[in-house]
Amino acid sequence: MTTLPVGIDDIAASTTSLMFPLAALAAAHDTSAGKYHRGIGQDEMSVPADDEDIVTLAARAAAPIIERHGSEGIRTLLLATETGIDQSKAAGVFVHDLLELPPNVRVVELKEACYSATSALQFALGIVARNPDEKVLVIASDVARYELDSSGEATQGAGAVAMLVAAHPRVLEIEPASGLFTENVHDFWRPNDRTTALVDGRYSVTVYLRAMEVAWQDYRERGGSPIDTISRICFHQPFTKMAAKAMQKLAKTAGLEDSAKAVSDLADTMTLNRRLGNTYTASSYMALLSLLEAGSLGDGERVGIFSYGSGAVAEFFTGVLVRGYREQLRTGDLTAMLDARREISYSEYRERHIAADRTGNFDTVHETLGNFRFAGVRDSIRVYEKTDNSPRA
């Protein structure tokens, strides 16, 4: 029996319009910048402008996909996030409106910490396998926030990845084997009355590594490929050094001889995340985009993806790069967005962190460099609008 090839037909990403360098955080905390640059492997964090949130990030990531393919065939939009903007209404409904998608689309939001974009992708594959004429727009969009002066502060970030899932995909054909893990733990979580996450940092690293081992073993038991046939693995990167730790551990578990090479080869999955910070649900797919844009893998090579969400759920799966995948990419677009961000000072960073907790009705300042903006809250309703690309003074 031949199975229908399904997978990622297109991929695009976005980030915010402000940036805070970790060297400045280190100076303010009287810490060595080396701790951040080498110890956790991060250089910068993306910070949302006043009129940016997960909806504007998601629309900005997905707009080039709609521009290229149109909305024909898209009957499902799945938005994965752990930065929910409403307890009831799915953020994707606002994105559906901003992207001017037709009404005959099912839209839902998925949540399980950083993992849920992978469940969205797997659900999308199922929909497409059953209805090969349909396409699914999967979007992962998040703003990672920890308390000021906490250990997690250096790992904040923001960004979104959009993927079009279709039959006969032109970027990555996803293979059927998948390894899973779930365990009820409290390594990182955000209660309803908090805008920042609670985290037991060291414990979260331990659970991540254990989840990875269990998911890998399950992947192998379910017919997954041996480690030496997987050219590169895109790990969830709460900070990029985490991927190096995971690769070291996996090399040992799976019996890979040259673990040092496997770790150093991960560099081309880290380029974007080093500058974005943690993008939660989008992180593994930012690693994938980074790898694809590096262009170091040839057509037909196998890529592994490890997705981890605290709490905790994890999954390991693989895909094969489709012939000509490089021609589908918008190489350099996200890097141009990263370069365009305005660098903010430590005092401005702190002021913005505190201001982000405001409630009630308010108007935002026009700051975004993107084409969609969060205009504010009026009568308890979040208001979004399209804009030309230029911020006003």
Write out the catalytic residue numbers.
82, 114, 236
Q: Which residue is nearest to ligand HMG (CB)?
A: 39
Contacts of 41 (CB under 8 A, 6+ apart): 239, 240, 241, 242, 244, 270, 274
Binding flags for ligand HMG, 348-377, as an x/- string (CB under 6 A): ------------------------------
Does position 188 bind ligand HMG by CB under 6 A?
yes
Which of 6, 62, 101, 199: binder of ligand HMG (CB under 6 A)?
199
The C-alpha atoms of residue 374 and residue 8 are separated, in whole angstroms, by 29
Of 115, 78, 62, 142, nearest to 305 by C-alpha is: 115
Binding flags for ligand HMG, 65-84, as an x/- string (CB under 6 A): -----------------x--
Q: To the nearest whole angstrom, how small is the minimum distance from the Cβ of residue 316 to ligand HMG?
A: 14
Q: To the nearest whole angstrom, how small is the minimum distance from the Cβ of residue 270 to ligand HMG?
A: 14
The C-alpha atoms of residue 77 and residue 106 are separated, in whole angstroms, by 6
Does position 236 bind ligand HMG by CB under 6 A?
yes
Nearer to ligand HMG, 157 or 179 (CB): 157
The C-alpha atoms of residue 178 and residue 318 are separated, in whole angstroms, by 8
Residues from 101 through 130 that contact ligand HMG (CB under 6 A): 113-114
Which of 20, 216, 280, 306: binder of ligand HMG (CB under 6 A)?
280
Does position 64 bind ligand HMG by CB under 6 A?
no
Which of 30, 149, 184, 202: binder of ligand HMG (CB under 6 A)?
202
3-state class (DSSP) for residue 18: strand
DSSP 195-231: SS-EE-HHHHHHHHHHHHHHHHHHHHHTTPPPGGG--
DSSP 8-state assignment for residue 112? B
Does position 38 bind ligand HMG by CB under 6 A?
yes
Of 208, 206, 188, 186, nearest to 198 by C-alpha is: 188
Q: What is the CA angle 38-155-280, rounded to 5?
A: 125
Q: To the nearest whole angstrom, how small is the minimum distance from the Cβ of residue 294 to ligand HMG?
A: 22
Nearer to ligand HMG, 50 or 112 (CB): 112
Which of 49, 154, 158, 334: binder of ligand HMG (CB under 6 A)?
154
For ligand HMG, how many residues bind (rule: CB under 6 A)?
30
Instruction: Read off the amino acid at residue 58.
Output: A
Segment contacting ligand HMG (CB under 6 A): 218-226, 238-246, 314-322, 348-356?
238-246
Which of 16, 17, 204, 269: binder of ligand HMG (CB under 6 A)?
204
Segment contacting ligand HMG (CB under 6 A): 102-110, 200-208, 250-258, 362-370?
200-208
Before 312, cis peptide (omega within 30)?
Answer: yes
C-alpha torsion sign, points 309, 315, 318, 319: negative
Of 304, 293, 320, nearest to 235 by C-alpha is: 304
The C-alpha atoms of residue 362 and residue 270 are separated, in whole angstroms, by 37
Positions touching ligand HMG (CB under 6 A) are 32, 34-35, 38-40, 82, 113-114, 151-152, 154-155, 187-188, 199, 201-202, 204-205, 208, 236, 238-239, 242, 278, 280, 308-310
